[in-house]
Structure 1
């Protein structure tokens, strides 16, 4: 148990420090593109989408490599790539160089699925939801403190933000290199994974995973959730400014409330909740909370109302994400954890690419309510599937 706890603490620190570096760039990338590079909004959108698209390609590739070569070397390599990408951002003076820096950082950011596989390696099925919650907690805390720090550092110059981001990734690289043990028990090559030629998009891996109905359903649900929530990535701040007339500081507080609540739920409460609720009930409750509160966002009325809505929305996402990751891991063989979680993370990246594109279009051309109502509609579908279909499909009434 002590060895497991030490490994979980180390992987938490690794992901948190790395995500802190990523979070530093969130508030300043659009301003940097407009003010320094003089590029238009469409080009900025391409830069942001490129990061998620690259993760869509590389998540399953790194997942498969980690199944064969181990988790530790992949995580170390990706952290070093992240540092290089951030350093390149600091010296960027053109659109193409900015795009290249985000592509390199996107490849480096494709290690999250490997970190999830690491959690699956070192936890028992009973503790897996709690373990997966550690990744979500690291994400949440990185997105709370990163943007706040990035906004402060930008006053000293955009290059400083890049250098500090690179420094955080390099610190995570050093910690991992010296302290993180390998989690994968090397076994004979699984029979279901014949040797294949390397391809940019590993179509065979996708086919292999989606041939399994239970995995296909769970990964599809995770994709729908990610797409639904990604609708608000760019539009939530716009809503605060244009509809609720928030200041930048109030918007920052709102992001802090959402990120911190999600981090607390995933990092500390999910283990306790699992002792009182079955996974079936967690699915039902969390998808209902997400759907309801996404729908309420444009009608919350004021800062206090939106803070309450954001609080309950974060409880829903904080419960749902580690639970579905735990289920995906549980229905996957030990030899295919990296590949399967890589496919799942790849689909999640695809959702994070499509969500902001639709959300921005809907906000501008259909009305400010529509990105949030779109997310509410699709998560309502997840709620209905969880209530009536999923228990029979996965035989999880006893889980």
Structure 2
């Protein structure tokens, strides 16, 4: 099913998406892997691009820990809550149904955030501010999940995670595209998506290993630390933007003074 969706996306993109590069500027180019040293150097050359790539990778890495570990962590929480209440251990089918419902809940939150809330916020605050808010939500939610004391707390934690990813993802892609000259949009976005794919491969694997050896709290604290790292880079990006704005303002005052 997943492979079919990917093929459908490929077909729709080939048929419906227009070519962004004007015909007069097209020229044959030798294929380079998006993660080859040459591609990485070219994509990281524009100012601010390396910081954005680091944010993209770390935020995705932290979020992707959820993919491979959440069923085990949620199952453990359901069992521990039942033990605290003095109830029998929940059946596998019940745990499975609850986990499916929680995945659906996260998807619904993401749809609401990206489909309705994000557009309104983007008209009022900067994309950097949205990235910062998203990484804060990711860090808080991921750190909270293994320590949730009940269903309401778990729903709030998962809501923070889904909202954080929804707030940070699209603005990050937009910021990355803004660093690239027009003829290299595809190459730069390809590098960012390749880094994201690498993070999605490493996150479940690394998170699963940490969960197996050290438990769910350690796995989710590590995931939260990845988001904290992304937030640190986002804060430096915001300071750099503020410095650039101050420099431009100073030059303007000198010009008209």
Find the residue that maps to 1:234 and give its secondary structure.
helix
Please state if 1:222 is matched with 2:56. yes
Q: 11, 20, 23: which is aligned to 1:184?
A: 20
Match of 2:155 in 1: 307
Match of 2:139 in 1: 291
Per the normalisation by structure 2, the TM-score is 0.80
Q: 77, 90, 100: which is aligned to 1:243?
A: 77
Cα separation, 2, equivalents of 1:392 and 1:200: 29
Match of 1:340 in 2: 188
Cα separation, 2, equivalents of 1:384 and 1:247: 37
Measured against aligned partners, the alpha-carbon deviations of 1:155-177 in whole angstroms (never above 9, x if no partner) come to xxxxxxxxxxx3x5666566556
Match of 2:44 in 1: 210
Per the normalisation by structure 1, the TM-score is 0.53
Cα separation, 2, equivalents of 1:343 and 1:171: 23
Tell me the C-alpha RMSD between the 2 structures: 2.7
CA positional deviation for 1:203? 3.0
Find the residue that maps to 2:67 and give its secondary structure.
coil
2:58–2:229: 8 Å Cα contact kept in structure 1? Answer: no
Structure 2 unpaired stretches of 5+: 80-93, 246-257
CA positional deviation for 1:284? 2.4
Cα separation, 2, equivalents of 1:323 and 1:200: 21
Structure with the bigger RCO (C-alpha within 8 Å, sep 6+) is 2
CA spacing shift, 1:360–1:194, aligned 2, 3 Å: same
Match of 1:370 in 2: 218
Q: Number of residue pairs matched? A: 231
Greater shift in the superposed pair: 204-213 or 320-329: 204-213
CA positional deviation for 1:338? 0.6
2:51–2:233: 8 Å Cα contact kept in structure 1? Answer: no
Please state if 1:358 is matched with 2:206. yes
Match of 1:43 in 2: none
Cα separation, 2, equivalents of 1:207 and 1:170: 31
Measured against aligned partners, the alpha-carbon deviations of 1:164-204 in whole angstroms (never above 9, x if no partner) come to xx3x56665665566x15242325558xx994465696431
CA positional deviation for 1:334? 1.3
CA spacing shift, 1:396–1:250, aligned 2, 3 Å: farther
CA positional deviation for 1:211? 2.8
